[in-house]
C-alpha cells in the first residue's frame, strides 16, 4: 500500500498477506539476506527509533531475555535501528555491563541488530512515519511466517514501549490457527476454547446446532470447541534435545 504525504512523499507500507520485502544488511551478527536466510522459521522483525534511548533499552533487554522462549516457538528475532554498526555495538555492550531493568541484568543481546543509517530498510517496511518523526523509525513489529509472508503487523508510537506478553501470545495464536485450522477469540491463551469457521451451508449450520459432540454453538455462526494447552504446546514448541551418551 502506498500513502501520499503532503502530495510529495510516498511511503511504502507492506500489508498482511504480502511477501516480506527482501533486503541485504549489515548487522551486529554479520551480514544477512532477508527473508531468505530465515525460510522455514517464523521471524519477528522489529524497529527502534535510535540507540541509547531509554524505552528502546528496556525493550532490547526484554527481547534478549525472552529470546530462548521465542526460539522454542521456532521464531527468530531481528532488530533494526537507524544508527551505525559501531553505535549498535557500543549500545549493546552498555546494556550488558550497566543496565538493569525489571530484575534483568547482565543481558547479552545475541540476535541481529540491523545497521540502517540510510533508512533503506525502514522505508521499505513503512517504519518511517513523517507525522511522528522524519528521521526515526516508529516501534513496528512484523510477524513473518516460515513461507516469508507477513502475517501480522503492530505499530507503536515512539513514546510507547511494547507489550511482550501480547507479542508472544499473537505468535502462538497464529501458529495454533495454522496447526489446528481454527481461529482464536478475544484474549485467547493456550488452553482456552478456540473458534471453528462459520458454517458454509444451512445443512452444516443445523447439524452444528443439534450436535452432541464437543462443539459449543451459541448460534449457527458462533461455535467454539476445547483445545487443551498441552495439545497446543506439544504441537508448536520445540522438543528438548536428548543427550546422547
pLDDT at site 24:
96
102 vs 204, higher pLDDT: 102
pLDDT at site 153:
96
DSSP for 171-209 reads HHHHHHHHHHT-B--TT--TTS-EEPPPPSSHHHHHHHH
Percent above pLDDT 90 for the chain: 69
pLDDT, one tens digit per residue, over 129-162 is 777 666 567 789 999 999 999 999 999 888 899 9
How far apart CA 47 and CA 125 sit, in angstroms, is 10
How far apart CA 79 and CA 47 sit, in angstroms, is 6
Are 33 and 139 in contact, with CB atoms under 8 Å apart?
A: no
pLDDT, one tens digit per residue, over 186-218 is 999 999 999 987 655 555 556 666 665 678 888
pLDDT, one tens digit per residue, over 5-26 is 444 455 668 999 999 999 999 9
pLDDT, one tens digit per residue, over 22-59 is 999 999 999 999 999 999 999 999 998 889 999 999 99
3-state secondary structure at position 79 = strand
Q: pLDDT-based confidence at 67, cuts 50/70/90?
A: very high
Q: pLDDT-based confidence at 4, cuts 50/70/90?
A: very low
pTM for this entry: 0.88
- Delineate the domains of the chain, giving CATH numbers in brackets: 2-163 (3.40.30.10), 181-236 (3.30.1020.10)
Percent above pLDDT 70 for the chain: 83
Query: Which one of 56, 75, 217, 223 is the catalytic residue?
Result: 56
Tell me if 139 is assigned to a ligand binding site: yes
Is residue 56 part of the annotated active site? The answer reads: yes
User: What secondary structure letter does DSSP report for 216?
Assistant: E
How far apart CA 207 and CA 163 sit, in angstroms, is 41
Average per-residue pLDDT in the chain? 88
pLDDT at site 8:
45
pLDDT at site 7:
41
Alpha-carbon separation of residue 39 from 19, 34, 172 (angstroms): 12, 9, 18
Amino acid at each position: 500500500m502506498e500513502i501520499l504525504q503532503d502530495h510529495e512523499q510516498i511511503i511504502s507500507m507492506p500489508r498482511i498477506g504480502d511477501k516480506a520485502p527482501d533486503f541485504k544488511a549489515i548487522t551486529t551478527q554479520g551480514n544477512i539476506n532477508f527473508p531468505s536466510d530465515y525460510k522455514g522459521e517464523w521471524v519477528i522483525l522489529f524497529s527502534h527509533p535510535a540507540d541509547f534511548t531509554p524505552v528502546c533499552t528496556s525493550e532490547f533487554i526484554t527481547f534478549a531475555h525472552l529470546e530462548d522462549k521465542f526460539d522454542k516457538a521456532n521464531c527468530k528475532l531481528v532488530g533494526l535501528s537507524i544508527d551505525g554498526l559501531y553505535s549498535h555495538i557500543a549500545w549493546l555492550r552498555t546494556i550488558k555491563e550497566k543496565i538493569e531493568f525489571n530484575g534483568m541484568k547482565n543481558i547479552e543481546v545475541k540476535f541481529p541488530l540491523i545497521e540502517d543509517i540510510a533508512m533503506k530498510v525502514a522505508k521499505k517496511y513503512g517504519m518511517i512515519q513523517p507525522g511522528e518523526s522524519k528521521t526515526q523509525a516508529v516501534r513496528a513489529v512484523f510477524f513473518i511466517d516460515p513461507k516469508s509472508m507477513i502475517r501480522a503487523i503492530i505499530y507503536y508510537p515512539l513514546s510507547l514501549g511494547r507489550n511482550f506478553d501480547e507479542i508472544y501470545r499473537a505468535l502462538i495464536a497464529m501458529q495454533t490457527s495454522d496447526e489446528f485450522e481454527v481461529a482464536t477469540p478475544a484474549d485467547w491463551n493456550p488452553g482456552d476454547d478456540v473458534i471453528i469457521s462459520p458454517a458454509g451451508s444451512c445443512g452444516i449450520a443445523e447439524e452444528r446446532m443439534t450436535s452432541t459432540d464437543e462443539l459449543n454453538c451459541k448460534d449457527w455462526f458462533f461455535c467454539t470447541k476445547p483445545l487443551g494447552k498441552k495439545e497446543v504446546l506439544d504441537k508448536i514448541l520445540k522438543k528438548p534435545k536428548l543427550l546422547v551418551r
